[in-house]
Amino acid sequence: MSSSSAITAPPAAIPSAPVSDGPAAAGRPPGIGWLWLAAVAAMLAAVFFATERFLTDRSPIVVGILHSMSGPMAISERSMVDAEVLALEQINRAGGLLGRPIRWVIADGASDWPTFARQATRLIREEKATVIFGCWTSASRKSVVPVVEESDHLLVYPMAYEGLEESPNVIYVGAAPNQQIIPAVQWSHDALKARRYMLVGSDYIWPRCVNAIISDQLVGLGDEKVAELYVPFGSTNVEAIVSRIVAEKPDVVLSSIVGDSAVAFFRKLREAGVRPQDTPVVTFALAEDELRNMPTAHVAGDYAAWTYFQSLDRPENQSFVREFKARYGNDRVTSDVIASSHTAVRLWARAVEEAQSSDVRQVRSAMRRQSMDAPEGIIAVDPETQHTWRPATIGRFRPDGQFDIVWNSRTAVRPVPFPITRSRGEWLAFVDGLRAAWDGGWAAPTGAVRPAPTGGTRNR
């Protein structure tokens, strides 16, 4: 019996049942999975932002402000503090820097060089300041520079000065000598036809260096230096200098007398009958702000050399003047050092933003690349010298305490900290010689009116 295999058809395809997520899935509304995913994503985002907030530094960035709030230089330096505080307040109103507010600590240098050094040390070590905006006089700056160099820190110096210095730890925002002193002497020779000059100053490092620079320039011009005289720093005993001016009748007096001494000097000039139409004075140390504390009749008709005046007709300046007056009162004025102090803070803030850090070294490096359209014109940090390109301007004092602009360079002038009349080594030796004569200090011992030291002028 034979057998045969049965052939059967394959079973019909049976639809498979959906895979169940469990008993609860049957009753879950459509789209609940997406809601669950969104909830998880939101939770993760919250954790991320909380962690980011925890890890990101939101503490204030601390800055130091170091100026004379007391003593003979307070007449000039208090307004520098006002300008710097205004800039910092503006930064905070705009949201701070790097998402952090700015906190400032104001220290009083008290017009005393050792005090400046001690206060700079305190700002760095105790207050943890990331930058110091400070100093007016070169004696105070010379006292602070070793402190910031030893700490590898940063001083932003807003004031016009004598040059003859470069430090990797200082940004020099104010004018170098070829942006203030040298143009003023050339202008006096050309515009005032001056040939006989009297040089007067307070007896410390800045006026001594300024007058050495002027003395070299006068030699090159073939002009005469009638005398070079100094009054002790902070002294108002200026009668002897005024008597020499009356006796010598120079064509021009070039003055680097500062602070309260300058107020007394101009008063005594007028009392002695010295008038600008006969013997004009060109000052490097008096501006609009100081005139608030003295009769403008004492200076009307004389001249000042700066890189900024409140009367400059620029939209950027008009805006700055409005902001300053809105903050401190309509009776307040702006001046060169006020504008430079405000600019100094703004340049630093730009460097912080560029560096994306408040670290001293990173910010110091970034500051060497900063520029801005400031109230007086384009300001740019020269990366080679860490001084700023800026314009030069000369103004005549008006009876209302403002200035008529009589000359300006129109464009920014490249800074030259070491004038070419001497080598860098010779200038440094000159500065060292002054300090040696002053027993290691930056100002002459107090005493009577002093003449210039022998050998202060080259090639005479």
pLDDT in tens, 299-313: 999 999 999 999 999
Domain 61-174+315-326+335-390 CATH (choose: 3.30.2130.10, 3.20.20.80, 3.40.50.2300, 3.90.660.10): 3.40.50.2300
Per-residue pLDDT reduced to its tens digit, 106-127: 999 999 999 999 999 999 999 9
- Residue 29 has which token pair? 């509304």
- Check pLDDT > 60 for residue 25: no
Domain ranges in the chain are 61-174+315-326+335-390, 178-313+394-451
pLDDT of residue 278: 95
Specify whether the CB–CB gap between 282 and 255 falls below 8 A: yes
Does domain 178-313+394-451 fall under CATH 3.40.50.2300? My reply is: yes
pTM value surpassing 0.75: yes
> Residue 227 has which token pair?
């005398």
Q: What SS3 class is residue 321?
A: helix
Question: Taking residues 47-54, what's their average pLDDT?
Answer: 48
What value does the mean pLDDT take over residues 139-151?
A: 97
Quickly list DSSP for 109-141: -TT-HHHHHHHHHHHHHTS--S-EEE-SSHHHH
- 396-415: average pLDDT: 96
Question: What percent of the chain has pLDDT above 70?
Answer: 85
Provide the 8-state DSSP code for 17.
P
61-174+315-326+335-390 shares its CATH topology with 178-313+394-451: yes
Across 54-82, b (16+ Cβ under 10 Å) vs e yields eeeeeeebbbbbbbbbebbbbbbbebbbb
**Residue 261, pLDDT above cutoff 60:** yes
